[in-house]
Structure 1
Amino acid sequence: MTIRVLVADDQPLIRAGLVSLCDAAPGLMIVGAAVDGDQAIALAASTAPDVILMDIRMPEVDGIVATRRILADSPDPAPKVLVLTTFDLDEYVYAALAAGAAGFLLKDTPPDRIIGAIQTIATGDILLAPQITRRLIEAYARHHRPRATERPELTALTARETEVLRLIGTGSSNAEIADGLLLSEATVKTHVKRIMGKLRLSSRAQAVVAAYESGLVVPGKPPGR
């Protein structure tokens, strides 16, 4: 299967480098290169990419707004948005994940890992590096007090689903959750699907955000039952 990739970055050198990298990779095909969020939105609508490499800081319309608009307007299956960032943009990354981005890459990620990340999220996996994702989200969450009222839908979750959501928030994979709760991986996948439906989430990354916002995961506190 050929993975259709759209690149959105306002820096010509980075944009050209990503285009060249993807063009040279077997199984990837560049369908467009956007210089800002507006163009990314237009190209996403006209080219139907599978994966979008999205910069955050762009003129006019930034990557967060562009991600939100693209995912809101795209027919199923919507493209997977992989945000490009640096460590000093913690709050922006959190906002991008909340907007529905599938995950993120650091801009100094080695080329082979960028290709691997594109292939990974194209198959439906969400977080490229859970440990880095947790670091970024925790840095943001420390300055934002969780409020249970932000997610009133949580009352619709069963006790088991709530526990699964908490473990998702710690960055645990389905296999790790299954091992910890003594369940089959297929059962965990069913719980995750139900959680996503009840909370109206579009990605596992959003489930991580929901776990932090609701207070199920407390930054700096070791995970425990």
Structure 2
Amino acid sequence: MSADAPRPIRVLLAEDQILVRDSFKVLIDTTPGLTTVGEAGSGAEAVLLARRHRPDVVLMDIRMPGMDGIEATRRICADPAGSGTRVLILTTFDQDDYVHASLRAGASGFLLKHATATELLAAIRVVAAGEALLAPTVTRRLIADFLRRAHPAPATRDLGHITQRECEVLTLVGRGMSNSEIAGHLHLTVGTVKTHIGRLLAKLQARDRAQLVIAAYDGGLVDPRPR
């Protein structure tokens, strides 16, 4: 790599199935701009290797022997020394409980294993850039889960320190809208929406957009009752 070339995105693989893990490694290591820095076969090993290598992205399976991927995600994201590490959950299990637990543990992305190689590589780049990525159906499933609850939990987060406009933006983020959709809905520019989201991230101490979705739920901005 030349002195002027950008540093490749460093990926840690956490997957207990060796054949699957090897496939991911070949895919990543043969893709320009990406490289693997370690391989873990359990959640505990993923935490250890994340602390050792400080990867940009951990590609994390959920079901692994011993410590599962959700607990491993929680520990990696809670480590102050690893604040630059993002976790992308990759699983075959398209279930709401896993989505909720993964996002609350600090994951920046959630992708199902039936995604294509192109989608996976794009997801790694998006998450490494500090953005949040959810599989196309995930945000809608999160909302649908809240709608199905007969007795939703009351608001548990005080949002009194955000402005009215920021509240409007956060509500639409919670409903699964993209920046361009929010801009159209509120008659703003996409740049202005990005500015509001940046302020929300700072005020709510959220790592990324995925945690803003959780904040919208916790703050009671997404109405859990059927319309």
Give the TM-score normalised by structure 1: 0.88
Aligned match of 2:192: 187
2:16·2:65 contact (CA, 8 Å) conserved in 1? yes
Q: CA deviation at 1:194?
A: 1.9
Give the counterpart letter for 2:51 in structure 1: A
Give the counterpart letter for 2:98 in structure 1: Y
1:85·1:93 contact (CA, 8 Å) conserved in 2? no
Residue in structure 1 matching 2:154, options 134, 137, 147: 147
Give the counterpart letter for 2:177 in structure 1: S
Give 3-state SS (helix, strand or coil) of 2:160's partner: helix
Distance in 2 (alpha carbons) for counterparts of 1:71 and 1:185: 29
Unpaired runs of 5+ in structure 2? Answer: 1-5
Unpaired runs of 5+ in structure 1? Answer: none
Per-residue Cα deviation, 1:175-200 (whole angstroms, up to 9, x for no partner): 22222212232322221122122222
Structure 1 residue 19 corresponds to structure 2 residue 20: no
1:94·1:140 contact (CA, 8 Å) conserved in 2? no
Aligned match of 2:212: 207
Distance in 2 (alpha carbons) for counterparts of 1:161 and 1:146: 23
CA RMSD after TM alignment:
2.0
1:91·1:140 contact (CA, 8 Å) conserved in 2? no
Aligned match of 1:6: 12
Residue in structure 2 matching 1:67, options 65, 69, 73: 73
2:51·2:82 contact (CA, 8 Å) conserved in 1? no
Per-residue Cα deviation, 1:42-67 (whole angstroms, up to 9, x for no partner): 11111111111111111221111111
Give 3-state SS (helix, strand or coil) of 2:13's partner: strand
Residue in structure 2 matching 1:137, options 138, 142, 148: 142
Distance in 2 (alpha carbons) for counterparts of 1:135 and 1:172: 10
Cα–Cα, structure 1 residues 219 and 14, in superposed 2: closer, same or farther, change >3 Å?
farther
Distance in 2 (alpha carbons) for counterparts of 1:70 and 1:76: 7
Distance in 2 (alpha carbons) for counterparts of 1:87 and 1:3: 26
Distance in 1 (alpha carbons) for counterparts of 2:170 and 2:161: 13
2:94·2:112 contact (CA, 8 Å) conserved in 1? no
Q: Which structure 1 residue ranges, 4+ long, deviate > 6 Å from structure 2?
A: none
1:146·1:212 contact (CA, 8 Å) conserved in 2? no
1:56·1:62 contact (CA, 8 Å) conserved in 2? yes
Q: CA deviation at 1:74?
A: 4.1
2:77·2:83 contact (CA, 8 Å) conserved in 1? no
Distance in 1 (alpha carbons) for counterparts of 2:100 and 2:194: 24
Give 3-state SS (helix, strand or coil) of 2:133's partner: coil
Distance in 1 (alpha carbons) for counterparts of 2:94 and 2:131: 25
Give the counterpart letter for 1:147 in structure 2: P
Aligned length: 219
Cα–Cα, structure 1 residues 88 and 112, in superposed 2: closer, same or farther, change >3 Å?
closer
Aligned match of 1:85: 91
Structure 1 residue 167 corresponds to structure 2 residue 143: no
The sequence identity of aligned pairs, in percent, is: 50
Give 3-state SS (helix, strand or coil) of 2:66's partner: coil
Cα–Cα, structure 1 residues 4 and 172, in superposed 2: closer, same or farther, change >3 Å?
same
